[in-house]
A and B are shown apart, each in its own frame.
Chain A
Amino acid sequence: MAAPPRLSKMPISPRRRQSTIKGYLVGVVLALVLTAIPFGLVATRALRPIQIFVVIGIAAIAQAVVHLRYFLHLDLKPSSQNKLIALCFAGVVLFILFGGTLWIMFNLNYRKM
């Protein structure tokens, strides 16, 4: 049996050479816009508070997607399928824990009033 090759001397495989600066720059510009919108609205109070809450929520979710896509390199290719499934599962657990906690606690609050 041949001696095991020195893995530490091997070159970086071509598959890992794909990260370019361009993708990051697109992501940063989108992230800055999605940060500026909610901060600007809170600073100027241009809309009614309830509308600002909705915009903050939408901008936050959009920005999380931008970060996942451009910074964490999550896409719809088969190579990131496992990660995507784990993310979806975590999303379901998150929804149940976060939504469930708020539901129970605010319901309790309401009933004790």
Chain B
Amino acid sequence: MTDTVITAGHDETAAEAAERAIDEKTYGFWIYLMSDAIIFALLFATFVVMSHNTASGPDSHTLFRLPYTFAETILLLASSTTLGCSNAAIAAGQRGRTLTWLGVTSLLGLGFVTMEISEFYGMAVAGAGPSRNGFLSAFFTLVGTHGIHLSIGLIWIVLLGCEVTLRGLNPFVVSRLYRLGLFWHFLVIVWIGIFSVVYLPEIL
């Protein structure tokens, strides 16, 4: 990860040029998030279409537990908050506090991913794996894709934590942290969709 070579135009200072480059990267990342949203929308549509194709498999009332899903949701909301705390620490230029909050965020995210994996494992052991019926295939694809995204986000947090430790809070590191925040908060929004479309209606 090297700093991009930026040439300032005639009317702008080097600082403005750097600012513009960072804004452009952020916008490009935003476009990526929108395309990711479309992937998730199609997985949601697939799930809704398949949700009745249970082939007399296990009942969704026995598969999903409301307190478990609620705990996962609280973990993700808490991780959003701690990421916000790290953003405030970045704005104040405090490297140590930034690292602490990034660490707490990654632990909360790890807790979520662990809960999800243990849920998947429990379902697979109970004979409700992805190959059981169309409903479960769609469920595992949708929730699993979200889980993989979050796992990549976790790796990203660790890598950026290393970069903050080694290089400090320079504008490029800060802009990477900002894009990490966009990615993470976006995934929390996707999770809102998952508990509203998958878990709550199925439990009801």
Contacts and interface: CB of A to CB of B under 8 A. Distances in A.
B34 A67 contact: no
Nearest to A39: B70
Contact of B27 (A15, A19, A83, A106): A83
A90 to B, nearest CB: 4
B93 A7 contact: no
Contacts, number: 153
Given A8-B171, A98-B41, A90 B91 contact: no
Interface residues of A, number: 56
B196 A60 contact: yes
Contacts of B49: 101-102, 105-106
B48 A102 contact: yes
Contacts of A87: 34
B193 interface: yes
B44 A7 contact: no
B189 A13 contact: no
A56 B14 contact: no
A72 B203 CA distance: 30
Interface residues on B, range: 35 or more
Contacts of A106: 49
A89 B31 CA distance: 10
B143 to A, nearest CB: 16
B192 A67 contact: yes
A4 B14 CA distance: 8
A64 B18 contact: no
A7 B204 contact: no
A42 B88 contact: no
A86 to B, nearest CB: 5
B45 A86 contact: no
A68 B128 CA distance: 35
Given A16-B91, A28-B80, A35-B73, A7 B201 contact: no
Nearest to A62: B192
A28 B192 contact: no
B124 interface: no
A98 B196 contact: no
A10 B174 CA distance: 12
A113 interface: no
B182 A72 contact: yes
Interface centre among B77, B84, B171, B197 (most CB of A within 10 A): B84
Nearest to B21: A7
B185 A71 contact: yes
8 contacts: A4-B14, A10-B18, A19-B87, A35-B77, A71-B84, A93-B38, A94-B41, A98-B41
Closest A-B pairs by Cβ, 8 of them: A24-B84, A90-B34, A60-B196, A101-B45, A71-B185, A8-B170, A21-B88, A5-B14
